[in-house]
């Protein structure tokens, strides 16, 4: 419990720093933010009205604490485009991104874990070389190109899957899976390559440890040694990489969402940037940053479950 409380307390100054940085974004823009938002052809009256609406005439510290007070109550402001609450816009876009992130990560794990284990237990064999080539290919091929190839083959040539679009899971699970499987696989293949390489390296290091040789000397079967002794101790760096991947996916799926026309969180940020809706951009970036903090906090907690020595401050040796 002490470890968890310490981590939560450490997250507070990080979150405060994030709010300061996100709030400063609008005020770091060159020139008058209201003029930047409305454009150079805006009338002085319109600029003055927007400045009053955004509270730009007040001292900067007052503006920050007013904005922070609203954030703490779930109020991220209103979109400058259609006056919709930013929190509502984000909640509308999040289900698609969350589903795409979870699906992508599941695809990556399903490929990376067996491939990493087989490759690490057969170093120098053909299966190891095949897995390494797959990993290098997966990391080298851009996922947007892979996504387009999937569309050409599975949608245009075979007609098996829809080329684009999104159907909510609650509305039609079958249509939802048909629309999401290609973006999940296209993105998951690249992430699986990264995870597979990390798991292989970590397992190779663990497999040379004394306790692994002791386990073999007791007559335990290879699969038992790997699953009971080696894999758990090799997971710490893999969990770290997984946390970074999930955090990146939650806010960085804009290319995948654009290719497959998925109305997700990443597209919301890009659309808001193009429409100069900086209030929405500000809110979306804050939520994205808070998600990264939350994922890292979850990863820290997961460390203590995998290796209790980390909880005691000794670290994995």
CB 280 within 8 A of CB 80: yes
Q: How far is CA 255 from CA 125, 244, 264, in A?
A: 37, 18, 11
- Whether residue 256 has pLDDT greater than 60: yes
Entry pTM: 0.82
Q: List pLDDT tens digits, range 193-248.
A: 888 888 888 888 888 888 888 888 888 888 888 888 888 788 888 888 888 888 88
**What single DSSP character describes residue 123?**
T
| Max mean pLDDT range (80-84, 147-151, 251-255) | 147-151
pLDDT score at 316: 42
The residue written with tokens 């397992």 in the block is: 203
**Domains observed in the chain:** 1-73 (no CATH), 87-311 (1.10.3720.10)
Handedness of CA 19, 22, 25, 27 (dihedral sign): negative
Please spell the DSSP secondary structure of 64-91, one letter per residue: HHHHHHHHHTT---B-TTT--BHHHHHH
List the structure tokens of 72: 């703490």
């Amino acid at each position: 419990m002490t470890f968890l409380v310490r981590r939560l307390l450490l997250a507070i100054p990080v979150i405060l720093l994030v709010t300061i940085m996100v709030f400063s974004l609008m005020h770091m823009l060159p020139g008058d933010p209201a003029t930047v938002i409305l454009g150079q052809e805006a009338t002085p009256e319109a600029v003055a009205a927007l400045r009053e609406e955004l509270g730009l005439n007040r001292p900067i510290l007052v503006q920050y604490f007013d904005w922070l007070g609203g954030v703490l109550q779930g109020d991220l402001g209103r979109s400058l485009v259609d006056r919709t609450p930013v929190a509502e816009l984000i909640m509308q876009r999040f289900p698609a991104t969350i589903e795409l992130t979870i699906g992508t990560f599941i695809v990556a794990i399903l490929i990376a874990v067996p491939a990493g284990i087989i490759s690490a237990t057969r170093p120098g064999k053909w299966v190891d070389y095949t897995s390494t080539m797959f990993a290098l290919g997966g990391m080298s091929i851009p996922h947007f190109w892979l996504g387009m190839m999937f569309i050409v083959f599975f949608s245009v040539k075979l007609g098996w899957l829809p080329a684009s679009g999104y159907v909510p899971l609650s509305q039609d699970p079958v249509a939802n899976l048909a629309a999401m499987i290609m973006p999940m696989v296209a993105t998951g293949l690249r992430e699986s390559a990264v995870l597979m390489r990390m798991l292989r390296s970590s397992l190779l290091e663990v497999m040379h440890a004394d306790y692994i040789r002791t386990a073999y000397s007791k007559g335990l079967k290879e699969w038992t040694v790997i699953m009971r002794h080696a894999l758990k101790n090799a997971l710490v760096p893999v969990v770290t990489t997984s946390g970074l991947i999930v955090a990146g996916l939650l806010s960085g799926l804009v290319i995948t969402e654009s290719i497959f026309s998925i109305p997700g969180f990443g597209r919301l940020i890009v659309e808001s940037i193009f429409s100069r809706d900086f209030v929405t951009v500000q809110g979306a970036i804050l939520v994205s940053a808070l998600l990264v903090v939350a994922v890292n906090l979850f990863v820290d907690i997961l460390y203590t479950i995998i290796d209790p020595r980390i909880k005691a401050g000794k670290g994995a040796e």
